Every structure is written in structure tokens, then in C-alpha cells.
Amino acid sequence: MDSVNDSLADPPADAGLDIALLESSFKMIAPQAEEFVDAFYAKLFELYPHTRGFFAATDMTLQRKKLVSALVLVIENLRNPQALGSALTALGRKHQSYSIGAAHYPMAGDALLKTFSAFLGEAWKPEVENAWVQAYAAITRAMLSGYLAPHAP
């Protein structure tokens, strides 16, 4: 496939995402979304201390809400890949202004997957992990397509 938006616009079976598994596993996290996001940032800063600098002038309360909203946006739009692709591309463009580069996406993914693992416990089975790895890869591709695209005037 030539573009990220094309890959997100494919039917779920072609995209390789296990939407039902992503939805059901996120449903287990949703009641503790604030704690989950706190744990994510703690894990990110523990594993990659230099990333703390990206948030030096950031209202972390607001940032945590933004991350929860982004996760909810992804889950609620897995069955609407065109809308999801557009939203993620725009989010990727926005990350340019934060000086977050392609090399940082795997760091966030690592922290995110480790946080899912910790919160899901025994429910973090290989198929759940694989579903989230695939989803994060698709999310990253979409965001990077926006990040790398030239801005319209």
C-alpha cells in the first residue's frame, strides 16, 4: 500500500487489526484511564528519562486528558478507518511543533505496551499483545505520514 491512510482505510481483516480484541482489552482499562495514563508517563520517563524534556512546559493534567482522549478516539474509530486516519495524520502534524521525531514513537510504544501489560495482568496474553503491537504500528504510520507531510499554506 502506498499511503498510511490507504492502509487504515482497508477493511479490518485486510489491515490485520483484531478490532474486537483491541476494544475488549481497552474496555478493561477504561475504568482506570487516569491511573493508566499516569502509569504510562511514569514508565516513559523511567525508561527514557530524556523524554521528560518534551513536557517541561506542559500542563501534565491537560496532557493526560489529551492522551486518554486520543486512546478513546482510536478505539471508537477502529471501525471508521478513514476518520481515524485523518485524525491521526493531523495529530502527527501537531507533533512537529513539539520537536517529537520518528525516533521517539518506538519509545512511546514501548512504554504504552508495558503499561498495558501491567494493567491487564493475566489478560495480557500473546494475542492481546500482538493486537496492540499491530495497532500501535498502524497508529505510528498514520501519525508519521502527517508528521512528514509538507504543511499546506
The model's confidence at residue 75, banded by pLDDT at 50, 70 and 90, is: very high
The model's confidence at residue 90, banded by pLDDT at 50, 70 and 90, is: confident
Sign of the dihedral through C-alpha 11, 130, 21, 92:
negative
Q: What type of residue is 141?
A: R
pLDDT score recorded for residue 151: 55
Q: How many residues does the chain have?
A: 153
Non-local CB neighbours of 77 within 8 Å, separated by 6+ positions: 83, 84, 87
pTM recorded for the entire structure:
0.83
